[in-house]
């Protein structure tokens, strides 16, 4: 991709996502971009430019950012129209973006190209690890929700309705979503990275639970994820 085109995309994203504090800021986009590039190095059948564009634009139309829940990709489409790109590639990028996201996965939508699979893995990895713990903390701070409440145990199974509506504690969010992510990886490098990040979240909770002197029930729950 021409540097000029990449800069055009980034300028537009700065306007859209530059001030976000819901966990979809440009810092998230850059981390996903770097991780996706790293995964793509190993997976030679993926087209690099397509991976980069899907990574850059994957949250441009997220409902937490736009307030739109109709699934339309107006921002991504508008931005793609500002750069030099073939119709085929534009279609592939938009199609890829439309298959990425945790709630989509819960409702049965899975990326079906190597490029979208790579970005999906990178996006989910960024919700895990120490970065994921901090994002969950940031998200809950924004809504004044507690980080941990010993009296509220996590749910066993989360459906899409619950995921989109309910605000749990950050610790419960780690159990309800983040510690399940490693099983949703679609590529080999993604799986390897997700396992490392999973272990980091478990270590974090292990130390945190010791400091909080939590009940046996919480410690047993954590043991299931080791």
Span interacting with ligand ADP, options 149-157, 165-173, 187-195, 200-208, rule CB under 6 A: 165-173
The only residue of 168, 193, 198, 209 in contact with ligand ADP, by rule CB under 6 A: 168
The only residue of 59, 121, 176, 193 in contact with Ni ion, by rule CB under 5 A: 59
Q: How far is the CB of 218 from Ni ion (least distance, A)?
A: 29
* Residue 181 to residue 133: CA distance in whole angstroms: 13
Contacts with Ni ion by CB under 5 A: the residue count is: 2
Nearest alpha-carbon partner for 134 in 200, 73, 75, 207: 200
- Does 175 help bind ligand ADP (rule: CB under 6 A)? no
Nearest alpha-carbon partner for 121 in 9, 37, 65: 37
Contacts for 51 with CB less than 8 Å, ≥ 6 apart = 36, 37, 40, 115, 118, 119
- Does 123 help bind Ni ion (rule: CB under 5 A)? yes
**Mask: binding to ligand ADP, 4-43, rule CB under 6 A, as x and -?**
-------------------xx-------------------
What sign does the CA torsion over 26, 55, 201, 151 have?
positive
- Does 193 help bind ligand ADP (rule: CB under 6 A)? no
- Does 115 help bind Ni ion (rule: CB under 5 A)? no
DSSP state string for 106-125? HTT----SHHHHHHHHHHHH
Do 9 and 79 form a contact (C-beta atoms < 8 A)? yes
- Does 182 help bind ligand ADP (rule: CB under 6 A)? no
Phi/psi at 143 (5° precision): -105, 15
Which of ligand ADP, Ni ion, none does residue 23 bind to, with CB < 5 to 8 Å depending on kind? ligand ADP
End-to-end CA distance of the chain: 41
Give the residue nearest to ligand ADP (CB): 23
Q: How far is the CB of 86 from ligand ADP (least distance, A)?
A: 28
Q: Which is nearer to ligand ADP, 59 or 193 (CB)?
A: 59
Q: How far is the CB of 59 from Ni ion (least distance, A)?
A: 4
């Amino acid at each position: 991709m021409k540097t000029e085109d990449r800069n055009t995309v980034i300028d537009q994203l700065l306007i859209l996502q530059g001030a976000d504090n819901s966990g979809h800021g440009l810092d998230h986009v850059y981390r996903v971009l770097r991780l996706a590039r790293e995964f793509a190095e190993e997976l030679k059948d993926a087209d690099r430019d397509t991976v980069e564009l899907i990574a850059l634009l994957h949250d441009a139309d997220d409902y937490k950012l736009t307030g739109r829940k109709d699934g339309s990709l107006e921002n991504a489409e508008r931005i793609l129209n500002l750069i030099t790109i073939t119709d085929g590639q534009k279609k592939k990028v938009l199609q890829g973006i439309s298959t990425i996201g945790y709630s989509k996965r819960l409702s049965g939508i899975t990326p079906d190209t190597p490029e979208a699979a790579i970005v999906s893995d990178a996006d989910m990895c960024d919700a895990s690890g120490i970065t994921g713990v901090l994002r969950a903390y940031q998200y809950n701070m924004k809504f004044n929700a507690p980080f941990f409440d010993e009296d509220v145990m996590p749910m066993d199974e989360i459906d899409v309705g619950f995921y989109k509506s309910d605000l749990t504690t950050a610790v419960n969010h780690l159990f309800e979503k983040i510690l399940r992510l490693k099983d949703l990886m679609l590529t080999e490098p993604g799986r390897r990275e997700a396992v490392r990040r999973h272990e980091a979240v478990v270590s974090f909770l292990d130390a945190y639970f010791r400091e909080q002197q939590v009940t046996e029930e919480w410690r047993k729950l954590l043991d299931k994820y080791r």
